[in-house]
Chains A and B, each alone.
Chain A
Amino acid sequence: MSGLPDGSVHIGPLQLKNPVMPASGTFGYAEEYASFMNLNLLGAIVVKTITLKPRVGSYPHRSAEVASGLLASIGLQNVGIERFIEDKLPFFEELKTPLIVNIGGESIEDYVSLANSLDQQATVRGIELNVSCPNVRKGGMHFGVDPEVLRELVSRVRQVTGKALMVKLTPAVTDIRLFAEICQRQGADAVSLINAPVGMAVDIKTRRSRLGKNLTGGLTGPAIKPLALYCVWRVCRAVDLPVIGIGGISSLEDALEFFIAGACAVQVGTWNFINPRITLDIIEGLEKYMVEHHLKSLPEIQVPKIGEAVTSNK
């Protein structure tokens, strides 16, 4: 219908009907949410990081709540690529919502091999590279903080897949723009940011980490929103790639902040645990907002750009 605002987004070869999706690691393999919502209403679904081999994940006592945030060390627990394709993919064949699979590895070869396998699956519409997992000993963060390694990783994965390719960046670098530029030059279709920065919490009674033997965890939830927004705003002004904003989104208002800062889409993370229907609430709210504010398409929200008044200082 011509009267309705257009919230659709292009990410490389992929067109999303709306710009809202759950963030990897907070939505399981989507089936966990099927009883709460119609999954077909989502812009896309990003599933939990898949690795080549199954992973049992971090030691127990994996999470601790902190002020407006969640510290968690899950350690990429997942069923591995084989079982994912066999057991989990069929569920998505029935869905209209595009599936984006987040992948993680211990070596560049792992990522290439994973991307290769997923490229052959028609149900998989996009791949998100987890180059910034805060909670694994090997790989993980390493790929996202070394420009040379990231350059080779993105370039090699790009060679084996024509599917939409997104790279999920960490804020734990001196200048995140540099890493986004590398992704752009190596042919990524989008960058998504931010992954969880590392944090810690101590139990003063036991004098131990509240994450037990894991010691540290990724910080997520509303506590990281200002950091995420800053990173998104910076990257949006540095690259000509779609930027997907992630970090502490818990409401339509939070999502709007990311769109105004330049994001073309958003991923909702930790708030899915609190309100499993939050993504749909944001999608509905966004449509209403666009109608009320006479926005025909989403990029219009960025005008006038909030960046311009303050960019000169940076």
Chain B
Amino acid sequence: MVTKNEPVGENCCRLTLDFPKDSLLPIPGQFYNIRCSDRTDPLLRRPFSMHRLRKESGILCLQILYRVIGKGTEWLSARKKGETLDLIGPLGNGFVLNARTDVVLAARGIGIAPLCAVAEAVRSMAPDSRLHILMGARFKDRVFYQKELERLGNLHLYTDDGSLGFRGRAPELLLHLLETGKVPGTCSLYTCGPAPMLMELSALSQRFGFEGQVALETHMGCGFGACLSCAIPLQPDSIKKTPLWKKPALQWSEDGRTCYSLICKDGPVYDIREVDWNEWLA
């Protein structure tokens, strides 16, 4: 049931729901597939990452942070307190959190949604760790959530046009922080945002040798591994398959040179070096 649905920035809203009874607790990076329609158009459910779990007046609440970008999210933004939503989740695999002294969270726009849950989890897991939050957008008015993020860690803002904070994009800002020693090369990175940004961050992780994990956004059909719509190419040599990194949905080509993974089932979180960014962006 919806308890709150409030604007938090330009075209960005935060939805608070009573946590569904008898449901598994989500971990940061997992997502919910929500029916954003009561008719056949829009048709499919829309995937939203878990933004935060929090107690409000003693009741466990699930928060979803979303940007209104189409018919589905417009419908969602019109939902009022007391209405019920049809959601499936938690789905997918979340972030594998490591206790590092320096943790970098890099987001662009609504990509911040799953990273707040990471910040809170890191805070409770390793209270002494330093959290560096990189948040930005194209220009000043698009940047939101500043106050919330300042409470979570060291906030570094950026805008493409320099109208607020660092002038440039997240990879350039991170490079600057690494080169000036404000962030050590031993950090671990958690990131979510547009694929070109993730690709550039991946290149930085190779160059400086830090570890990184990405939460990917994509269109999905079902969200639970049946429709095979959300395939993403992985780098065959870099695939992580360990008890913590389960990948039940890998499909290899006959010659073993191509490997597709389903974002809904194996992801949406991947090691930053696993994804074949060039092929994904082609």
Contacts and interface: CB of A to CB of B under 8 A. Distances in A.
Interface string A46-90: 001000011111111011110111101010010100000000000
Contacts of A59: 282
Contacts of A245: none
A221 B224 contact: no
B40 interface: yes
Contact of A276 (B224, B228, B259): B224
A213 interface: yes
A33 B226 CA distance: 8
Nearest to B261: A60
A27 interface: yes
B282 A213 contact: yes
Interface in B197-250: 219, 221-233
A62 B282 contact: no
Given A273-B221, A274-B43, A72 B227 contact: yes
B47 to A, nearest CB: 12
A60 B280 contact: yes
B226 A68 contact: no
A26 interface: yes
Q: How large is the interface on A (under 10, 10 to 19, 20 to 34, 35 or more residues)?
A: 35 or more
B44 A274 contact: yes
A130 interface: no
A211 B219 CA distance: 11
A256 B198 CA distance: 48
Given A56-B252, A273-B221, A273-B222, A62 B228 contact: yes
Interface in B156-203: none
Interface residues on B, range: 20 to 34
Nearest to B37: A274
Q: Which of B42, B231, B233 has the largest count of A CB atoms less than 10 A from its CB? A: B231
A250 interface: yes
A33 B223 CA distance: 12
B45 A273 contact: yes
B260 A77 contact: yes
B98 interface: no
Contacts of A62: 228-231
Contacts of B225: 28, 32
A63 B226 CA distance: 13
A272 interface: yes
A27 B228 CA distance: 10
B251 A56 contact: yes
Nearest to A212: B282
Contact of A273 (B226, B258, B282): B226
A18 B105 CA distance: 53
Contacts of A213: 282
B279 interface: yes
B58 to A, nearest CB: 30
A63 B229 contact: yes
A70 B221 contact: yes
B227 A74 contact: yes
A288 B170 CA distance: 58
Contacts of A74: 227-229
Interface string B25-40: 0000000000100001
A212 B227 CA distance: 18
A273 B251 contact: no
A77 B88 contact: no
B56 interface: no
Interface in A1-36: 25-28, 32-33
Contacts of B41: 67-68
Contacts of B280: 60
B142 to A, nearest CB: 18
B254 interface: yes
Nearest to A56: B253
B95 to A, nearest CB: 22
A53 B254 contact: yes
Contacts of A26: 226-227
Which 10 A-B residue pairs are closest in the complex by CB-CB distance?
A273-B222, A63-B229, A56-B253, A28-B226, A68-B40, A222-B40, A32-B226, A68-B41, A74-B228, A273-B221
Given A28-B228, A250-B40, 16 more contacts: A48-B228, A56-B259, A56-B260, A57-B228, A57-B260, A60-B231, A62-B228, A63-B229, A68-B41, A69-B43, A74-B229, A77-B260, A212-B282, A273-B45, A274-B43, A274-B45
16 contacts: A26-B226, A27-B226, A28-B225, A55-B251, A56-B253, A56-B254, A57-B228, A57-B251, A68-B43, A74-B227, A270-B43, A273-B221, A273-B227, A274-B35, A274-B43, A276-B88
